[in-house]
Amino acid sequence: MSASVLKVGIIGQGRSGRNIHAETLRKLTDRYAIVAVSDEVEQRRQMAASDFGCAVYADYREMMNRNDLDLIVNATPSHLHVPVSLELLEAGFNVLCEKPLARKAEAVDALIAASRRTGKLLTVFQQWRFNPIFLEIRKCLASGVLGRIVQISLTVNQFSRRWDWQTLKTYNGGNLLNTGAHFLDQALQFVDSEPSTILCQMDNANSFGDAEDYCKVILTGENMPLVDLEISNCCTYPRSDNYLIQGTNGSLKASLSEVEWRFFRPEEAPQQVVQHAPMSDADGKPLYCREELKWYEGAWKRGEGISYPAPQIAFYEALYDTMTNGKQLAVTPESVRLQIRIMEECFRQNAKFTYEVPGMV
């Protein structure tokens, strides 16, 4: 695109559209300009006009009459992500859609087909791929110091009662589609493999809506570590470590602000041989296997060492490079499809929380 500053329209001024997208774009005025906003709530429109100095619309379709928008951000409620994104693509707009992208893989395929048919960009706001913790964990895994990875556990637990629209199946609410869209996406980036077995258990513990607020997902497959994802709103003893990765040479743990890992180097370890006979010490007393290993440690803490931009800033910076300099798209809908396919299978296994909606959303 010829213009150095991309003109952006935002559909929706809720927690995501206003507090995340609009506030992020306001920090990147050398790259983006918010020129249009739509929202059904008049007070939100007035706030947008005052704060962003942009045109406002009650109906996003009125915004679609403009011919100067380089990008439209789809920050509608979750159940509208697919139909609105399809409508935008077919009308010739580049689209950034909020997560979760869809409820079914079939819907993702329809979006990918529309993007290819129209030649318009479609990306998904999986900004946690730019989270410093995620990036540091990937560095450690890539170094190989933990050996072969056996298990990856991701835990997002709290005790919380909730009663907003994101607790309703009809709006594609629930913990798996909302919180899981980030953590399942990260898990799949860690293993870089497609699981052959998917097991899931869901429950509605404390939410006042009918969607799940407890979700346990187990993923396994040939030549991949076991993935254990747990998202719960009924845990009064949440773990301080959201990530726990176990390998043959060591382990890693991480919260949302720091990472620690501990490992030994096999080449420095004593060479052991399997003993078939009972083991005894010098006095003939029974002996249990014991050895001294030299342990190495590593750590990273937010605010120390490498400085990372906020995930949402990094996402928009990467998107700008794609749209203006032709860099490879950081988050493709193809890369999100596996996440959605796994979620779809999770809902299939928990029929109580499945919701069939028209239009493959």
pLDDT digits (tens, 9 = 90+) for 93-139: 999 999 999 999 999 999 999 999 999 999 999 999 999 999 999 99
Q: Where are the domains of the chain?
A: 6-125+311-328
Averaged pLDDT for residues 161-175? 91
Provide φ and ψ at 311, rounded to 5°. Answer: -55, -40
Query: What CATH architecture is 6-125+311-328?
Result: 3-Layer(aba) Sandwich (3.40)
295/283 Cα distance (integer angstroms) = 30
Provide φ and ψ at 340, rounded to 5°. Answer: -70, -40
253/235 Cα distance (integer angstroms) = 20
The pTM for the full model equals 0.92
Averaged pLDDT for residues 10-37? 97
Confidence of residue 358 (pLDDT cuts 50, 70, 90): low
Q: What is the pLDDT of residues 267-313, one digit of tens each?
A: 999 998 988 888 888 888 888 888 899 999 999 998 877 778 999 99
What number of other Cβ atoms are within 10 A of residue 55's Cβ? 17
Are the CB atoms for 355 and 202 separated by under 8 Å? no
Name the strands in the sheet holding 71-74, side by side, starting at the edge strand that comes first in the sequence: 55-57, 32-38, 6-11, 71-74, 95-97, 122-124
Averaged pLDDT for residues 40-50? 96
pLDDT score at 1: 39
**What are the residues whose beta carbons fall under 8 Å from the beta carbon of 127, sequence distance 6 or more?**
311, 312, 314, 315
pLDDT score at 291: 87
Q: Measured at the alpha carbon of residue 313, what is the angle toward residues 339 and 173, in degrees to the nearest 5?
A: 40
Q: Quick one: which of 242, 218, 213, 238 has its CA closest to 228?
A: 218
- What are the tokens at 7? 């003109």
Provide DSSP, 66-116. -S--SEEEE-S-GGGHHHHHHHHHHTT--EEEPSP--SSHHHHHHHHHHHH
220/222 Cα distance (integer angstroms) = 7
Are the CB atoms for 286 and 279 separated by under 8 Å? yes
Confidence of residue 2 (pLDDT cuts 50, 70, 90): very low
Element containing residue 34 per DSSP (H, E): strand 32-38
pLDDT score at 314: 97
